[in-house]
Amino acid sequence: METIILFDTRYGTTNKVSNIIAEKLTTYGCNCKVANINENQNLELDKYDRIIIGGPIYAGNFQKNMKKFLEKNLSILKEKEISLFICFMNEEKQIEQFNNAFPNELAVNCKTKGFLGGEFLFDKMGFFDKSIVRIITKSNKNQTNIKNESIEEFVMDILK
């Protein structure tokens, strides 16, 4: 099955997670491409049977570019086998944030939902983001909470 993982990212974590998913799918014999929605204007979604979409949560939702991308491509995406994931750090709100992020029409028909964790990477953050995260977490240390088990389960569900 021709597969593409489409992602958005600010500091690279969702790119990293997308690559882990792609590596695992490739190990299982799947032909899998990874693409940043901001760097690829002609994605030719028609070519793919299986589409995996993921993005990071900021202030409870996806960033504008991913929202626009999903809105613009909703009708073609609805014709595909779709799996969806978020990268995030607030576990208490993961379901609410997932539901805010993806259009309901996609979420109700998707094959698999992934809650794949995230990171706070202070070294990469700009001044504004650093200040916000420092206030929220009361720390300025990098934190990694990428959920490898959830990634494995997500991939297995996709292949079912």
Ligand X SMILES: Cc1cc2nc3c(=O)[nH]c(=O)nc-3n(C[C@H](O)[C@H](O)[C@H](O)COP(=O)(O)O)c2cc1C
Tell how strand 112-115 and strand 81-87 pair up.
parallel
Q: Measured from the CB atom, is 52 or 133 closer to ligand X?
A: 133
Shortest reach from residue 62's CB to ligand X, in Å:
10
Binding interface with ligand X (CB under 6 A)? 9-14, 56-60, 87-90, 97, 118-120, 125, 129, 132-133
Shortest reach from residue 5's CB to ligand X, in Å:
13
By beta carbon distance, the residue nearest ligand X is 118
Amino acid found at 119: E
Q: Measured from the CB atom, is 4 or 89 closer to ligand X?
A: 89
DSSP secondary structure code for residue 119 in this structure: E
Shortest reach from residue 23's CB to ligand X, in Å:
17
Residue 96's alpha-carbon distances to 12, 59, 127, in angstroms, are: 23, 12, 28
CA angle 138, 139, 144 (to 5 degrees): 120
CA atoms of 41 and 26, how far apart (whole Å): 24
Q: Measured from the CB atom, is 19 or 31 closer to ligand X?
A: 19
